[in-house]
């Protein structure tokens, strides 16, 4: 008997969604299946895994970029190009997040990786460098 892990369910949904047919009917069946198996409480995790599977299959990376203010189109383009190069030519799904707690700079999250280019982090690195250099 196969184990019904959230990952297995997400993969099955992804593969089944690729088939031709009435999408509304398909999604209705998915919801009925989840309800019947008492898995509706796990839908958030299943959707996260489904998103990850779809992105891997279609060679897309999802980048959440946090900044203190709206990012200019040129900067978005530059970040997108840099990430595409860093992740072997994958397409980049850019998700902008305004975080007023930041002093400045950017915080980029791709999968489990965090690229911290915030002003606070840069000041911390400078402080570490200056205190270690003095010893």
Q: 56-83 pLDDT, tens per residue?
A: 898 999 999 999 999 999 999 999 999 9
How many structural domains compose the chain? 2
Q: 36-55 pLDDT, tens per residue?
A: 999 999 999 999 999 989 98
Q: What is the pLDDT of residue 107?
A: 96
Q: Is residue 64 located within the same domain as residue 128?
A: yes
Residue 1 lies in a domain: no
Residue 77 lies in a domain: yes
Q: What is the pLDDT of residue 64?
A: 95
Q: What is the pLDDT of residue 2?
A: 63
Q: Is residue 72 located within the same domain as residue 91?
A: yes
Q: Is residue 91 located within the same domain as residue 125?
A: yes
Domain that residue 21 falls in: 6-56
Query: How far is CA 4 from each of CA 13, 16, 18, 33, 38, rounded to the nearest angstrom?
Result: 12, 16, 20, 12, 12
Bridge partners, residue 91, by sequence: 60
Q: Is residue 121 located within the same domain as residue 92?
A: yes
Q: Flag whether pLDDT at 4 surpasses 90.
A: no
């Amino acid at each position: 008997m196969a184990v019904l892990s959230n990952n297995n369910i997400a993969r099955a949904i992804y593969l089944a969604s690729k088939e031709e047919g009435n999408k509304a009917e398909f999604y209705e069946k998915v919801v009925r299946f989840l309800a019947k198996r008492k898995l509706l409480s796990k839908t958030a995790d299943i959707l996260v895994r489904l998103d990850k599977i779809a992105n891997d299959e279609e060679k897309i990376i999802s980048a959440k970029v946090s900044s203190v203010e709206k990012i200019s189109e040129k900067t978005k383009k530059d970040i997108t190009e840099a990430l595409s190069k860093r992740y072997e030519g994958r397409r980049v799904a850019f998700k902008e997040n305004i975080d007023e707690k930041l002093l400045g700079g950017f915080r980029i999250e791709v999968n489990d990786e965090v690229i911290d280019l915030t002003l606070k982090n840069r000041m911390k690195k400078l402080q570490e460098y200056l205190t270690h250099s003095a010893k």
